[in-house]
Amino acid sequence: MKHHFGDFLDRTDGYWTIVPNRERYAYATDSDIPDKEAVKILTISKTDANWKQVFDCPNIEELTLHEPSTEQVEKIQTLKSLKRLRVTFFRAKDIEFIGRLYNLEEVILEYVSGFSDLSPLQNLTKLTSLHLENLRRVSNFDGLKGINSLKYLHIDGTLDWNQPIENFDFLTGLPNIEVFSLGFITCRTEFPSFLSILNLKKLRKIKIGRSTFETIEYAFLQVALPQVEGCSWDLCWDYHDNFEFLGKRAGFVKKSSAYAKSKCERFIEIYEKMKEESAEIIKSVLG
């Protein structure tokens, strides 16, 4: 599925200043730029014949590489003043080129395939916001460990493909995360998947769809993060003609059913037991 260039960044609280996806083309130019010192934002792609003028823009802060060439990706490593970088639709053997842009604060990788190692991002000691979407060869996110400056992390797939995540152990290496967001993903570890989230003492917001995980994972999160925004879900969601139960494959009951009330009550009862089980696990871990 091709990216529709909607803007799914959570722009509240100033985590993102990069231009919205849909506005990228407003900063694309293949003609000569008369006042290069005034340029702070550009979008370039492999079809731009005059793209090298980006190196004559001394105040460039933000760059979108949309379907770039290998040469463009390799050359931008010299743009040390860059603070914001978006790369879309590129097949890379590695992302070492990003790891050399030491002043980056915001990074977006969308449909960047061919590589599996995220560790070059550890070189970005000023990185605060990271959006990872549809990274086809990545399933282990341990390469993110040690990015102590990171405050916002979003990992996503697409409607037709879930981003695999082996486990969430990498969260132990991201002590300053404030916003943790997941889209279309598949977690490859069993309950409790989120033990490592207990280390995120500064976490203030979590964004997870209501059918991404088994029900018990939501119970765990709700017990583990009682004060965190986003950790309270409708157990029996009133949706059209049904009450949809929280959790992956948790099912639903039609509102018109004579058993709707009793089934919802039963589900809530089961969920409360899941919370009790989760509380015992957390207690054993934290001592």
**DSSP states of 198-233:** GG-TT--EEEE-TTSS-HHHHHHHHHH-TTSBT---
- Count the neighbouring beta carbons within 10 Å of the beta carbon of residue 177: 24
pLDDT bin (cut points 50, 70, 90) of residue 6 is low
Asked if residue 65 is part of any domain, the answer here is yes
pLDDT tops 60 at residue 2: no
Instruction: State residue 8's pLDDT score.
Output: 78
Instruction: State residue 29's pLDDT score.
Output: 84
Asked if residue 88 is part of any domain, the answer here is yes
pLDDT digits (tens, 9 = 90+) for 55-66: 999 999 999 999
Asked if residue 170 is part of any domain, the answer here is yes
The residue range of the domain holding 148 is 12-208
Q: What are phi and psi of 102, to 5 degrees?
A: -65, -15
Are 131 and 109 in contact by the 8 Å Cβ rule? The answer is: yes
pLDDT bin (cut points 50, 70, 90) of residue 267 is very high
CATH code for the domain of 131: 3.80.10.10
What are the distances in angstroms from CA 79 to CA 28, 55, 83, 102?
A: 17, 7, 10, 10
Asked if residue 261 is part of any domain, the answer here is no
pLDDT digits (tens, 9 = 90+) for 150-188: 999 999 998 889 999 999 999 999 999 999 999 999 999
What angle, rounded to 10 degrees, do the helices at 215-224 and 260-286 form?
50
Asked if residue 194 is part of any domain, the answer here is yes
Q: What is the overall mean pLDDT for the chain? A: 95
Asked if residue 145 is part of any domain, the answer here is yes
Q: What is the total count of domains within the chain?
A: 1
State the burial class of residue 193 (Cβ atoms within 10 Å of its Cβ: 0-12, 13-18, 19+): buried
pLDDT bin (cut points 50, 70, 90) of residue 22 is confident
Q: Where are the alpha helices (DSSP H) in 57-195?
A: 70-75, 96-99
pLDDT digits (tens, 9 = 90+) for 197-245: 999 999 999 999 999 999 999 999 999 999 999 999 999 999 999 999 9
Asked if residue 264 is part of any domain, the answer here is no
pLDDT tops 50 at residue 1: no
Asked if residue 266 is part of any domain, the answer here is no
Mean pLDDT of 40-52: 95
